[in-house]
A and B are shown apart, each in its own frame.
Chain A
Amino acid sequence: MKKSTIINLIFVLAIGIALHLLRKAGFINGYYDHILTKICMFIIAAVSLNLINGICGQFSLGHAGFMAVGAYIAAIFTKNPGLIIPEAIAGMPRFFVALIIGGLMAAFVGFLVGLPTLRLRGDYLAITTLGFGEIIRVLLLNWKFVGGASGYFGIKPYANFLSVYVLAVITVFIIQNFITSSYGRACIAIREDEMAAETMGIHTTKYKIIAFVLAAFFAGIAGGIYAHLMQAIMPRDFSFLVSVDILLMVVLGGLGSTSGSIMAAIFLTLVTESLRRFQSLRVIIYSLMLIFIMIFRPQGLLGGQELSVSMLKEKIKLLFGRIKPEKGYASTNGTE
């Protein structure tokens, strides 16, 4: 592991512990606790969508569909003790196993959707995933076992802040590792120029599918968390608009930037919550705000850059002019 990764991890864990202590001390009430958990869930969803849309450059609109798969599958497993998972595994462990099964199912479905469409270039993926999301929703509407249109109720609230925070950290860690691995570089090459990537010997379809399936897996996890946070899920919770919401986070954060997706997930969730008191005006304020952000910052908050502790330190040092730019900067001008 690189030193900067460790610093970032320590930093992130420190925030988690601090928030947890604040909760324990009673500074964060149930409502805010709920929002914090929701933010972590959206972070998982946004960071995974960024892998497809930002890193691979493939336009997917089906994230809500994968979340729905994960949500319903995970909920079925926690609501029916003894179903496949032995009954001895109960409570939180069962929740985690159910989440993983939900994620795996979503990944499997992602594979089925991706296999035929990712071979093609262009907008096919957007159209197929859009259709896929709707198909899942309609299927759920007609599935009596999970309540159909009236929803699936009585799901236990296993998704508390601490567990979801840890899951979000693990997700970001895994996806970030993927991005910096040779797999990630292949995906970025595909985004930059698919034909050139192919002449480098990159099996473009294979890498697109791997990224897509990985993203679908984490979307499924996010869905499972959603189910155990809201305690009741309905097919309309996973409508096309949810996919768009998550896509907004990715675009707003800056396509291709994991930390950007995280920041945008935090920001947009907070905005949505704080605009609740304006009721129907909220939609208008929300859209106006997005339009302005996109006019003045079309590349997104971070514009493809990554935010990290070491980078912040560098920026602050530069700001106060205490040190000259490090050697790394000088070499870009070829003056070494």
Chain B
Amino acid sequence: MLKIEDLHVYYGAIHAIKGVTLEVQEGSIVTLIGANGAGKTTILRTISGLERPKKGKIEFMGTDITNLPAPDIVKLGISHVPEGRRIFLGMSVLENLELGAFLSRDKKSNKKSLENVFDHFPRLYERRQQIAGTLSGGEQQMLAMGRALMSKPKLMILDEPSMGLAPILVLQIFDIIEEIHKQGTTILLIEQNAKMALSLADYGYVLETGKIVMQGRTSELLQSEDVKRAYLGGA
């Protein structure tokens, strides 16, 4: 579904991504793990058109999206839940969600998406009139995910959904990711919480300073001594 080939991204003179090749199969959950500064977020931002690669190719369902502007990429069916949630703090929950369906003019289908989001996140329904900035961290994460769902994405990319959340909430968020996946949305997930990510995903990539150093089925990665030592805490 999504194919990245030999991707190179620079921030000025800094070579942030050094030739990354990866693939996300339709219907799967793929995770990208790695330490701070490995370049995970940069890869996601490049996929959704927020950064421009210097070299390489990104293909989504047969379309070359390497240099498409961000709105066109959303239109093709990729929805990005950005790092740090980035919800519209001054707007109500409902307004945030409505903006998620900005590109769709079909009122009926937007209403359906909204109902679907409220099914996943009953909490958001309770708080739909509340100003987003007054939500708790977990609720804000739910809102960011709900907002991304509003565009009915084929591929949802999530940038550290567990960041800054209490363990119980992390579990809840991951349950919801699984639910969304079961409904037929392909997921590309970035996590620092490698254990959680690897137990949810089917396939994983390990990123170190801009390069993929390891990849494989998550069941294999969970057994790998290197991964255990570096990311799972313990031998």
Contact = CB atoms under 8 A, between A and B. Distances in A.
A186 interface: yes
Given A185-B95, A186-B102, A192-B91, A199 B69 contact: no
B70 A189 contact: no
Determine the interface band of chain B, counting residues with CB < 8 A from chain A: 20 to 34
A122 interface: no
Contacts of B48: 199
Contacts of B86: 193, 195-196, 199
A332 interface: yes
A256 to B, nearest CB: 9
Interface in A153-207: 182, 185-186, 188-189, 192-193, 195-203
Contacts of A201: 70-71, 74-75, 102-103, 151
B150 to A, nearest CB: 9
A83 B90 CA distance: 50
Determine the interface band of chain A, counting residues with CB < 8 A from chain B: 20 to 34
A196 B70 CA distance: 11
Interface in B117-143: 126-127, 129-130
A198 B70 contact: yes
A204 B163 CA distance: 27
B82 interface: yes
Contacts of A26: none
A331 interface: yes
Contacts of B90: 192
B104 to A, nearest CB: 9
B147 interface: yes
Contact of A198 (B50, B88, B126): B50
Contact of A332 (B102, B130, B147): B130
Contacts of B39: none
Interface of B: 48-50, 69-71, 74-75, 79-80, 82, 86-91, 95, 98-100, 102-103, 126-127, 129-130, 147-148, 151
Interface of A: 182, 185-186, 188-189, 192-193, 195-203, 328, 331-332, 334
Question: Lowest 10 CB-CB distances: which A-B pairs, in order?
Answer: A201-B74, A196-B86, A334-B126, A192-B88, A201-B103, A332-B129, A201-B71, A199-B80, A198-B70, A203-B71
